[in-house]
A and B are shown apart, each in its own frame.
Chain A
Amino acid sequence: MTVCTPIASSLKQTPLHALHAAHGAKFMPFAGYDMPINYGPGVLKEHLHTRAAAGLFDVSHMGQIVLRPKSGNLADAARALEALMPQDILSLEPSRQRYALFTNDQGGIRDDLMVANGGDHLFLIVNAACKDADEAHLRAHLSGTCIIEPLTDRGLIALQGPRAAEILAALCPEAASLRFMDAVPLSIMGIACVVSRSGYTGEDGFEISVPAREVAALATTLLANPDVWLIGLGARDSLRLEAGLCLYGNDIDATTTPIEAGLGWSIQKVRRDGGARAGGFPGADVILPQLANGAVRRRVGLRPEGRAPVREGAKLFADEQASAPIGLVTSGGFGPSVGAPVAMGYLPPAHAATGSLVFAEVRNQRLPVRVSATPFVPHSYKR
């Protein structure tokens, strides 16, 4: 068997790299960073612990960007950003956050991100692999209306799981009163943080932006509670897959539209046909007709009927003999909380109904796979 040893040279490090190493992290390259894939307990136990108690994730590799309106009027920044995405940013209330998509002229997705209303600014959290391109995209289109500030001196951690709220509240009582997708500045141990009640696991929890030089102190304090374990990117992936959440680069990319990806819910009415600010974003001429009439393929949840995991890249077929594939698996693996393999992929509408049976090709075998509703594990958000 082949055991890979990644080469760590020229990789960037997050402000928590030394803390990961001290906690026995196994590292791998991810989006140009040397990131922890798992710690001593391993992916399976880290995953289950997050759903049972609380997991602490270092996501400092992600991009944090502040947009400030040059006019001083936040609506100007919101309108400018709406020219790059199909979301309603203008009516996003102060201290609220929203899932958003940068689209391209073909209707594809340049990146998925979070946008928060910070009162006098907008706060964007973008994917690590896309952050340089996103910044360039913002500079190309928004420089006239906004000051664009990438926050390169801040770390980002996520505390996720059923015990996250009481654990964070012990350090910061105000955190307990946040609702899902609230995003507010809060002082934790005297550190100026921005805390949102959100995450990428399907569990209740928080994402906390922290000055880089103080993120290790905050992480260390949280880890002093034995219910808090460090969780690596391996379990982050299996948690988000069970939660039915897309991974940019796998399940969505520049060639998948929001409608194909099942993300039409993220496009508010005001930006749809008939809405007061309909269209006016890249690819609107593709995306809005698809929203009304459907797309030629759709992202679906998949449950392999056997025990063998079906992983990204596996082709999907209508039956065991068919020579031409009808779809593709974009994420897949074993779901520790489900106790069985789970996957996501794309299928034409005729095969995309929940309960449809298709076949995935794995090692030259056709394995039966059932189209399934997502999430595979119910969300536990505090709405």
Chain B
Amino acid sequence: MTTLYTDDHEWLRIEGDTATIGITDYAQSQLGDVVFIELPKVGRQLKKGEAAAVVESVKAASDVYAPIGGEVIEVNDAVVADPAQINSDSMSAWFFKLKIADQGELAGLMDEAAYQAHIA
């Protein structure tokens, strides 16, 4: 299992051809208290860079973009019911899982060390 990061502050956990996607601790700290989250429908085909989910804090709404392309195969209903999980443990509060369409798209993502350097 590998964890990769985007410069838009999403994390991806890669297991075979499945990517589990969430937002980073840095992202949640910038957003503040999350009060609402909207996730894509299971079965939706996402293209890389497409708006896939919405995270709303008290003050603002932010889009979450698909870091890679693929089909949405599962969404985390528990985080919809309790969006505060994103603030308390952003690395566990996953948003959705994608069936990876093109493993080649993973090449442009950062590993942990590169991401930490990115936000430093």
Q: Determine how close the nearest CB of chain A comes to the CB of B116; give it in whole angstroms.
A: 16
Q: Determine how close the nearest CB of chain B comes to the CB of A364; give it in whole angstroms.
A: 11
Q: Which 5 A-B pairs have the closest CB atoms?
A: A44-B33, A334-B35, A43-B58, A42-B32, A3-B30
Q: Determine how close the nearest CB of chain B comes to the CB of A303; give it in whole angstroms.
A: 15
Complex: A56 Cα to B73 Cα, angstroms: 48
Most buried by A among B9, B31, B59: B59
Complex: A2 Cα to B7 Cα, angstroms: 9
Judging by beta carbons under 8 Å apart, are A43 and B36 in contact?
no
Instruction: Select one of A234, A307, A363 contacting B58, CB under 8 A.
Output: A234
* A308 at interface, CB cutoff 8 A: yes
* A237 at interface, CB cutoff 8 A: yes
* A264 at interface, CB cutoff 8 A: no
B27-66 CB mask vs A (1 if < 8 Å, else 0) is 1001111011010000000000000001111110111110
The size of the chain B interface, using a CB distance under 8 A, is 24
Judging by beta carbons under 8 Å apart, are B23 and A1 in contact?
yes
Judging by beta carbons under 8 Å apart, are B59 and A43 in contact?
yes
Which residue of A is nearest B84, CB measured?
A44
Judging by beta carbons under 8 Å apart, are A363 and B54 in contact?
yes
A-side interface residues toward B, CB under 8 Å?
1-3, 37-38, 42-45, 47, 234-235, 237-238, 307-309, 311, 333-334, 336, 341, 363
Complex: A334 Cα to B65 Cα, angstroms: 23
Complex: A237 Cα to B31 Cα, angstroms: 16
Which A residues touch B57, using CB under 8 A?
Answer: 43, 334
Q: Other CB < 8 Å A-B pairs besides A3-B31, A237-B59, A309-B56, 10 of them?
A: A1-B10, A1-B23, A1-B27, A3-B30, A42-B32, A234-B32, A333-B58, A334-B56, A336-B58, A341-B36
Judging by beta carbons under 8 Å apart, are B58 and A334 in contact?
yes
Complex: A47 Cα to B32 Cα, angstroms: 13
Which B residues touch A307, using CB under 8 A?
Answer: 35-36
Which B residues touch A47, using CB under 8 A?
Answer: 58
Which B residues touch A334, using CB under 8 A?
Answer: 35-36, 56-58
Q: Determine how close the nearest CB of chain B comes to the CB of A43; give it in whole angstroms.
A: 4
Instruction: Select one of B9, B33, B35, B36 contacting A1, CB under 8 A.
Output: B9
* B77 at interface, CB cutoff 8 A: no
Which A residues touch B55, using CB under 8 A?
Answer: 1
Instruction: Select one of A3, A37, A42, A309 contacting B61, CB under 8 A.
Output: A309
Which A residues touch B111, using CB under 8 A?
Answer: none
Which B residues touch A309, using CB under 8 A?
Answer: 35-36, 56, 61
Complex: A195 Cα to B55 Cα, angstroms: 41
* B8 at interface, CB cutoff 8 A: yes
Judging by beta carbons under 8 Å apart, are A38 and B54 in contact?
no
Which residues 1-38 in B have Cβ within 8 Å of A in the complex?
Answer: 8-10, 23, 26-27, 30-33, 35-36, 38
Q: Determine how close the nearest CB of chain A comes to the CB of B100; give it in whole angstroms.
A: 20
Q: Determine how close the nearest CB of chain B comes to the CB of A72; give it in whole angstroms.
A: 48
Contacts A1-B23, A234-B58, A309-B56; A44 near B35 (Cβ below 8 A): yes
Which B residues touch A38, using CB under 8 A?
Answer: 32
B61-77 CB mask vs A (1 if < 8 Å, else 0) is 11111000000000000
A–B pairs, 10, beta carbons within 8 Å: A1-B65, A2-B62, A2-B63, A42-B32, A43-B33, A44-B32, A235-B58, A308-B56, A333-B58, A333-B59
Which B residues touch A308, using CB under 8 A?
Answer: 36, 38, 56
Judging by beta carbons under 8 Å apart, are A1 and B8 in contact?
yes
Judging by beta carbons under 8 Å apart, are B61 and A311 in contact?
yes
Which A residues touch B35, using CB under 8 A?
Answer: 44, 307, 309, 334
Complex: A44 Cα to B36 Cα, angstroms: 13
Complex: A237 Cα to B57 Cα, angstroms: 13
Which A residues touch B32, using CB under 8 A?
Answer: 38, 42-44, 234
Which B residues touch A45, using CB under 8 A?
Answer: 33
Q: Determine how close the nearest CB of chain A comes to the CB of B30; give it in whole angstroms.
A: 5
Complex: A31 Cα to B59 Cα, angstroms: 17
Which residue of A is nearest B81, CB measured?
A307
Contacts A1-B23, A2-B8; A238 near B59 (Cβ below 8 A): yes
